[in-house]
Homo-oligomer: A and B are copies of this chain.
C-alpha cells in the first residue's frame, strides 16, 4: 500500500519561514497542494492554462484583480480562473494553501526574481 501520511498544516507551516516560496505538502491526480507564507506584494501575473485556488489559513490576503479585488481571511478561498491577471498582496504575514496543477509556475507567464522553479516538498 502507498504510504498514507497525515498532514498537519500547522506543522508544515512551522517547517519553513521564507515568503513567496511555495512548498509541496501533497500531490494527487496531477495536482499539488502547496503551502506558502506571503508578506508584501507579489507580481501581476496570470496562468495561461491553469486555474488556481487560494485558501487562507492564517492572516488576511488581498488578491487584486485588474478591475476589482477579493479579501480573504482564514477559512475563505477563491478560485482564480486561467488567464485572469491577479496580484496577491499581504500587508501582514499570511499562510495560504494553494491548489493547482503540478506544472503551475508561481509567477505564471513571467520569469523573474520571484519565480521558484523547483518546489521543495515538506
Contact = CB atoms under 8 A, between A and B. Distances in A.
Nearest to A5: B78
Chain A, interface SS category:
strand
A99 B51 contact: no
A76 B7 contact: yes
A50 B31 CA distance: 11
Interface string A57-94: 10000000111101110011111110010000000000
Interface in A1-16: 1-2, 4-10
9 contacts: A6-B76, A6-B77, A6-B78, A8-B76, A9-B77, A10-B75, A28-B52, A31-B99, A33-B77
